[in-house]
Amino acid sequence: MPETPPNTSFQVIIVSPNETIFEGQAVRFFAPGANQEIAILPDHTPLYSALHKGQIKVHGPNSQLNTFDIDSGILRVKSNQVTAIIGL
């Protein structure tokens, strides 16, 4: 049986209580965790984390960079999908 090739990107959804802030594909994702910056790459292990004041950085597959300033939030990583629920 042939091996499944690794994923090169993953889905990112960033929402606030009132709206969807961002939805798209990423190759890297960075967020301000409780003790240090959290880095997410494709095929990351499942993870839940609190987010603190700082900046989320979403690196897209075509070298685009989206940044979002946040005050707090919650991060979930599961099955190549990153969901951030944030307070702006």
Taking alpha carbons only, the member of 37, 34, 32, 28 closest to residue 65 is: 28
- Please report which confidence band the pLDDT of residue 5 belongs to, taking 50, 70 and 90 as the band edges: low
User: Are the CB atoms for 22 and 57 separated by under 8 Å?
Assistant: no
Q: Which residue has the higher pLDDT, 88 or 45?
A: 45
Give the per-residue pLDDT at 7: 81
Mean per-residue pLDDT over the chain, rounded: 93
pLDDT digit string (tens) for 15-58? 999 999 999 999 999 999 988 999 999 999 999 999 999 999 99
**SS3 of residue 45 by DSSP:** coil
**In whole angstroms, what is the distance from residue 7 CA to residue 20 CA?**
25
**Helix segments in the chain, DSSP class H:** none
**Structural domains in the chain plus CATH codes:** 10-87 (2.60.15.10)
